[in-house]
A and B are shown apart, each in its own frame.
Chain A
């Protein structure tokens, strides 16, 4: 297709227009309960135009909610990386370790966050007020960990034999081989894992907040559904999507910095 001036701007806008039109038609024809785009904007503009306002526990500006969610995601994500990366290295380095734990990992990996969360809440029952946060963190960490674990393991296995031969000829100690050769050689793979993990962590946060009722984008969404304010549900969906998109872009920026030739 021929490209023209400003096509990078005009074509995406056209795409948005098509979706808005479909939305408008839908709410006029078969989905009577679905609020129209104009109505959605009307009901949401308070939250968007004053994004940091706090009117009550569950009635805050949309960016404030986003901030709560991001903080929780950051904590859970950090746990996932700190736990997942070493596991990935062990899997990549040791055949015995792989044989021992790979089946368990493959079984735990596809378990949905909705299934983990109740277990998380039970695990931290003793924590009292903190229980819901700990449960949410546990869920985020355990769901977001797997891409990091698996990509790191693949990366470690893919370290070229040449680099390992260099380490052998130089008689690098185990620690130096790890820090000077293995980790730098694995970094590109690790960052692919980190990026996928962050995507999952952000998916999980919504589910976790819905079920625990914590303030945040997901909690807000669930509350407004119960309050029959459907416009806000759409606002939340768009916010979640945009934030996820931005996070992914940021991570791929970081990732491309670590790509070695």
Chain B
């Protein structure tokens, strides 16, 4: 059984006339402990895909399952590292992490939670800055706090939404090494979204390209068969690395060119089961019509 699974996930924005399908029929399975990188153009729907994984937005069709259970909302089991850090500016480094710790481990004692917080501040080597506020920190340090906050929740899956794209090249390289180090420490399942194929190959076990949007979908997986730890300097001369980079770049470029040909292979049918009106509706509006499988295999061939 796959650990984390996306099954025929589609998502669009806007109403009928001006509707754009951002993601169409996205399928992905991830094993426990695997590091998967999703590479795609900016604007292709990477953040949308990440938000769906995190449960912040609901897909129009399809399901997200973690350990066989369908995910319908956000939760601390899928830790999300935000693109723009999203630290609360009125809290110090320690308080930001503590907020997450208090929320996820309410059963632990005060002292245990304090120790837990300290442990994760140490993990990202920010002990000297523990009582500083986010605006006193550099971008790289802020992102480290964000990573520490997420890891401290002890998530089953670590979701990284372009965590390094706002940083300069040197800080970026530093943090990439840090992510690798933390990763080998915890054997965490990681999904990383990035627009940099090099970064993806350097960090991940498997790279999955996301085709250009609209109607973006995932391409075939590229297994990265390079031994850990990977040395970025040596990697530049590694033939397998260069071959992989060429293939992935080629796939992405190709996807942009022939996206008209693959535009609508599948049809979204309004397969909504009628709602049972005899059952009282929950006041919170959680009840929704069941939508199990709206993507039908009935294909419309578009040849251009």
Interface with A: B76-84, B213-221, B287-295, which one?
B76-84
Interface mask (B106-145 → A, CB under 8 Å = 1, otherwise 0): 0000000000000000000000000001110000000000
Query: Is there an interface contact between A170 and B135, defined as CB atoms closer than 8 Å?
Result: no
Q: Which residues of A are found within 8 Å of B100, using beta-carbon distances? A: 170
Query: Is there an interface contact between A170 and B86, defined as CB atoms closer than 8 Å?
Result: no
Given the complex of chains A and B, what is the CA–CA distance between A172 and B101 in angstroms? 12
Picked from B78, B82, B103, B133, the residue with its CB within 8 Å of the CB of A162 is B82
Given the known inter-chain contacts A169-B76, A170-B104, A261-B89, please indicate yes or no for A162 contacting B84, CB distance below 8 A. Answer: yes
Q: Which label, helix, strand, loop or mixed, suits the secondary structure of the B interface?
A: loop
Given the known inter-chain contacts A162-B84, A181-B88, please indicate yes or no for A168 contacting B99, CB distance below 8 A. Answer: no
Sample (9) of A-B pairs whose CB atoms are under 8 Å apart: A162-B82, A165-B74, A169-B75, A169-B76, A169-B80, A170-B104, A181-B88, A185-B88, A260-B135
Q: Which of B52-86 contact A (CB under 8 A)?
A: 54, 56, 74-76, 78-80, 82, 84, 86
Given the complex of chains A and B, what is the CA–CA distance between A185 and B80 in angstroms? 21
In the complex, what's the smallest C-beta–C-beta distance from B18 to chain A, in angstroms? 22
Q: How many A-B residue pairs have CB under 8 A?
A: 51
Say if the beta carbon of A75 comes within 8 Å of chain B.
Answer: no
Q: Which of A231-261 contact B (CB under 8 A)?
A: 260-261
Query: Is there an interface contact between A261 and B134, defined as CB atoms closer than 8 Å?
Result: yes
Picked from B82, B99, B153, the residue with its CB within 8 Å of the CB of A165 is B82
Given the complex of chains A and B, what is the CA–CA distance between A162 and B80 in angstroms? 11
Q: Which residues of B are found within 8 Å of A171, using beta-carbon distances? A: 74-76, 103
The residue among B79, B89, B133, B153 with the most chain A CB atoms within 10 A of its own CB is: B89
Q: Which residues of A are found within 8 Å of B135, using beta-carbon distances? A: 260-261
Given the complex of chains A and B, what is the CA–CA distance between A168 and B78 in angstroms? 12
A-B contacts besides A166-B86, A171-B74, A261-B133, 10 pairs, CB < 8 Å: A162-B84, A165-B56, A165-B82, A168-B56, A169-B76, A170-B153, A260-B90, A260-B135, A261-B134, A261-B135
In the complex, what's the smallest C-beta–C-beta distance from A188 to chain B, in angstroms? 10
Q: Which residues of B are found within 8 Å of A168, using beta-carbon distances? A: 56, 74
Q: Which residues of B are found within 8 Å of A199, using beta-carbon distances? A: none
Picked from B74, B86, B89, the residue with its CB within 8 Å of the CB of A260 is B89
Interface mask (A32-44 → B, CB under 8 Å = 1, otherwise 0): 0000000000000
In the complex, what's the smallest C-beta–C-beta distance from A131 to chain B, in angstroms? 44
The 9 closest A-B pairs by CB, nearest first: A261-B135, A162-B86, A184-B90, A260-B89, A168-B74, A170-B103, A169-B74, A260-B90, A166-B86
Interface mask (A153-197 → B, CB under 8 Å = 1, otherwise 0): 000000000110110111110001000110011010000000000
Q: Which residues of A are found within 8 Å of B88, using beta-carbon distances? A: 163, 166, 180-181, 184-185
Query: Is there an interface contact between A170 and B76, defined as CB atoms closer than 8 Å?
Result: yes
Q: Which residues of A are found within 8 Å of B84, using beta-carbon distances? A: 162
What is the size category of the interface that chain B forms with chain A?
20 to 34
Q: Which residues of B are found within 8 Å of A185, using beta-carbon distances? A: 88, 90
Binding site for B on A (CB under 8 A): 162-163, 165-166, 168-172, 176, 180-181, 184-185, 187, 260-261
Q: Which residues of B are found within 8 Å of A260, using beta-carbon distances? A: 89-90, 133, 135
Given the complex of chains A and B, what is the CA–CA distance between A187 and B89 in angstroms? 12
In the complex, what's the smallest C-beta–C-beta distance from A234 to chain B, in angstroms? 46
In the complex, what's the smallest C-beta–C-beta distance from B165 to chain A, in angstroms? 15
The residue on B at minimum CB distance from A176 is B103
Interface mask (B153-190 → A, CB under 8 Å = 1, otherwise 0): 10000000000000000000000000000000000000
Given the known inter-chain contacts A170-B104, A171-B103, A172-B103, please indicate yes or no for A163 contacting B86, CB distance below 8 A. Answer: yes
The residue on A at minimum CB distance from B90 is A184
Q: Which residues of B are found within 8 Å of A184, using beta-carbon distances? A: 88, 90
Interface mask (B13-54 → A, CB under 8 Å = 1, otherwise 0): 000000000000000000000000000000000000000001
Q: Which residues of A are found within 8 Å of B76, using beta-carbon distances? A: 169-171
Q: Which residues of B are found within 8 Å of A163, using beta-carbon distances? A: 86, 88
Q: Which residues of A are found within 8 Å of B74, using beta-carbon distances? A: 165, 168-169, 171
In the complex, what's the smallest C-beta–C-beta distance from A161 to chain B, in angstroms? 9
Q: Which residues of A are found within 8 Å of B56, using beta-carbon distances? A: 165, 168-169
Q: Which residues of B are found within 8 Å of A166, using beta-carbon distances? A: 82, 86, 88
Given the complex of chains A and B, what is the CA–CA distance between A261 and B76 in angstroms? 27
Given the known inter-chain contacts A180-B99, A261-B133, A261-B134, please indicate yes or no for A169 contacting B79, CB distance below 8 A. Answer: yes
The residue on A at minimum CB distance from B150 is A169
In the complex, what's the smallest C-beta–C-beta distance from A172 to chain B, in angstroms? 6
In the complex, what's the smallest C-beta–C-beta distance from B133 to chain A, in angstroms? 7
Given the complex of chains A and B, what is the CA–CA distance between A74 and B75 in angstroms? 45
Q: Which residues of A are found within 8 Å of B89, using beta-carbon distances? A: 260-261
